[in-house]
């Protein structure tokens, strides 16, 4: 006879994936509390909240957004956010620009490439070290984006920030950062990304510096996972590999500043405590990190190759179906196996504007010149493609299965033309000879048939 009670189910010690300080999933309805019993159950707004906390809703979408797009989080905090706010004074951050930012004497029409921005010997924080390279669209109408490079050497101390204009997609390339946010702590290193939602207060600490990386500032609708269509329910970026932090708070009564980015301008207010005082929260509007080494690439297994949209990690839709405000696209290590195929990206001209950055290693269409930390811009309807060396090599290669190893690059692709900032055109290390990489592509046609 089986002595065991039918009720003696074995229970997991902790939910899988919740070990450490993160909860798995993308856009889940999470709940988390840093003190036991701090999170109200069964309702959002009880008459009195445990521990004397204040209940407050953070709305990331309009109240009336359709269900599958509706995002909000309920916070239970030591003080309501109005106590972390006061009179605002304008603050000048001259290198952080917002669209529209069209400079009279800067020509954005062109194929551009930059060497990595050198680290500065000055103290630079997340705010003072942000260098805008391009802007697109209009921050005031919440369309478009900006691309930035950050150089950070120093942590923000008793200083906090939020952007009312945008969510930030952060792509580290060197060094390690810690985002201490209202909803928890995200540690971030190269080959990972984080998405910090619009309106979320945080400070950035430099854990290992100097730190450098890329930021896509999304003025428009939030990033989401692309539909996979016939690919099915798996591969590309999987929901479980996105990680949202558990609740974490600090109760620090020290003079502090809060900087707000609002319609392209920066404003500062002085407060008497840390605003990172959310003890418990529940909801689906939250910061998230993702390890790009978990991205499962899909590709051709016989001939030709698909459009690079096959490598989309996240997409921020626009009002026009299938035409993204921003696609975040990842070129990572992968096998190429196609027969009788020109394997690198083909020559092309695109209505979308492509800002590429190199995180690590070598990119197959540009073996030289596009180095880790570097950027390239192929703007709306400007032709580009492999350079001569890459073309010749790919045209004559013995087409065995080949692993493209040691490579990780990305693209911020937007439906809007990208305008160079004065910094990108005049101060950043622009490669003046980039256009020459195609110069030696010779005419092979002589009117006679046969491959040349
Ligand atoms: Fe392209």
Among 68, 282, 305, 419, which one carries the catalytic annotation?
Answer: 305
- Ligand 1 centroid–CA 23 distance in Å is 35
For residues 362-373, give the mean pLDDT.
82
- Ligand 1 centroid–CA 413 distance in Å is 9
Cis peptide before 210 (omega within 30 of 0): yes
Band (225; pLDDT cuts 50, 70, 90) = very high
Distance (Å, rounded) from C-alpha 111 to C-alpha 381? 11
Say what the pLDDT of residue 1 is: 47
Averaged confidence pLDDT in the chain: 95
For residues 137-145, give the mean pLDDT.
98
Residue whose structure tokens are 């605002």: 88
Residue whose structure tokens are 């009720």: 7
Protein residues near ligand 1, an ion, with CB under 5 A: 354
For residue 373, the number of C-alpha atoms closer than 13 Å in the C-beta half-sphere is 15
Residue 19: pLDDT over 80:
no
For residues 247-265, give the mean pLDDT.
97
Residues 6+ apart with CB under 8 A from 440: 388
Residue 289: pLDDT over 70:
yes
Q: How far is CA 445 from CA 40, 276, 394, 448, 449, in A?
A: 74, 66, 18, 7, 9
Stated pTM of the model: 0.95
- Ligand 1 centroid–CA 266 distance in Å is 34
Widest CA span of the chain, in angstroms? 89
Residue 17: pLDDT over 80:
no
For residues 298-317, give the mean pLDDT.
96
- Ligand 1 centroid–CA 3 distance in Å is 67
Bridge partners (DSSP) listed for residue 73: 58, 283
Residue 4: pLDDT over 60:
no
Residue 13: pLDDT over 80:
no
Q: Judge whether 384 counts as a catalytic residue.
A: no
For residues 96-104, give the mean pLDDT.
97
Please, are residues 183 and 200 in contact by the beta-carbon 8 Å criterion?
Answer: yes
For residue 135, the number of C-alpha atoms closer than 13 Å in the C-beta half-sphere is 24
Residue 169: pLDDT over 80:
yes
Say what the pLDDT of residue 400 is: 96
């Amino acid at each position: 006879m089986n002595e065991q009670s039918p009720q003696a189910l074995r229970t997991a010690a902790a939910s899988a994936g919740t070990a450490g300080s993160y909860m798995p999933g993308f856009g889940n309805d999470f709940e988390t509390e840093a003190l036991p019993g701090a999170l109200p159950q069964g309702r959002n707004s009880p008459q009195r909240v445990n521990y004397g906390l204040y209940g407050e809703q953070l709305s990331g979408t309009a109240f009336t957004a359709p269900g599958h797009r509706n995002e909000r989080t309920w916070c239970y905090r030591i003080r309501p956010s109005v106590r972390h706010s006061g009179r605002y004074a304008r603050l000048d951050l001259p290198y952080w620009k917002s669209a529209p930012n069209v400079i009279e004497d800067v020509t954005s029409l062109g194929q551009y490439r930059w060497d990595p921005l050198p680290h500065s010997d000055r103290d630079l924080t997340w705010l003072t070290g942000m260098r805008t390279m391009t802007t697109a669209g209009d921050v005031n109408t919440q369309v478009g984006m900006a691309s930035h490079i950050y150089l950070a050497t120093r942590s923000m101390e008793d200083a906090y920030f939020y952007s009312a204009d945008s969510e930030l997609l952060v792509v580290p390339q060197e060094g390690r950062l810690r985002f201490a946010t209202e909803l928890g702590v995200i540690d971030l290193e190269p080959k990972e990304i984080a998405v910090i939602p619009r309106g979320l207060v945080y400070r950035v600490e430099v854990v290992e510096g100097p730190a450098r990386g890329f930021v896509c500032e999304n003025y428009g609708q939030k990033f989401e996972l692309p539909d996979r269509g016939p690919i099915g329910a798996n591969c590309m970026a999987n929901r479980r590999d996105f990680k949202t932090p558990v609740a974490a708070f600090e109760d620090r009564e020290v003079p502090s500043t809060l900087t707000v980015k609002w319609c392209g301008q920066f404003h500062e207010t002085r407060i008497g405590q840390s605003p990172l005082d959310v003890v418990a929260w529940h909801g689906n509007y939250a910061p998230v990190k993702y390890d790009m080494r978990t991205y499962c690439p899909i590709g051709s297994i016989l001939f030709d190759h698909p459009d690079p949209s096959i490598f989309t990690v996240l997409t921020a839709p626009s009002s026009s179906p299938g035409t993204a405000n921003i696609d975040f696209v990842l070129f990572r290590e992968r096998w190429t196996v196609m027969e009788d195929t020109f394997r690198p990206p083909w020559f092309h001209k695109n209505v979308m504007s492509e800002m590429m950055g190199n995180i690590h290693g070598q990119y197959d269409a540009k073996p030289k010149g596009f180095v880790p930390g570097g950027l390239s811009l192929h703007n709306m309807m400007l032709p580009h493609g492999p350079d001569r060396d890459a073309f010749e090599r790919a045209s004559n290669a013995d087409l065995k299965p080949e692993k493209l190893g040691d490579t990780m690059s990305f693209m911020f692709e937007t439906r809007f033309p990208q305008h160079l900032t004065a910094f990108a055109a005049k101060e950043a290390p622009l490669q003046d000879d980039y256009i020459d990489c195609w110069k030696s592509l010779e005419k092979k046609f002589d009117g006679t048939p046969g491959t040349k």
